[in-house]
Amino acid sequence: MIKEVIVVEGRDDTVAVKRAVEADTIETGGSAINSRILKQIALAQERRGVIILTDPDHAGERIRKIIDAKVAGCKHAFIPEADATRKGDIGVENASPEAIRHALERLHTSFEGAESLIGLDDLIEAGLLVHPQAAARRMVMGNLLGIGYCNGKQFHKRLAMFQISREEFTAALAQLEEGEANL
At 73 the pLDDT is 92
pTM for the structure as a whole? 0.86
Per DSSP, the three-state class of 23 is coil
Contact 131, 140 (CB under 8 A): no
Q: What pLDDT digit, counting tens, does each position of 70-92 carry?
A: 999 999 999 999 999 999 999 99
CA torsion angle 139 49 30 94 (round to 10): 50
Determine the Cα–Cα distance for residues 183 and 136; give it in Å rounded to an integer. 14
pLDDT at 180: 77
Domains and CATH numbers, the chain: 1-110 (3.40.1360.10), 112-183 (no CATH)
Give the phi and the psi of residue 14 in degrees, each rounded to 5. Answer: -60, -45
Residue 70: what residue type? K
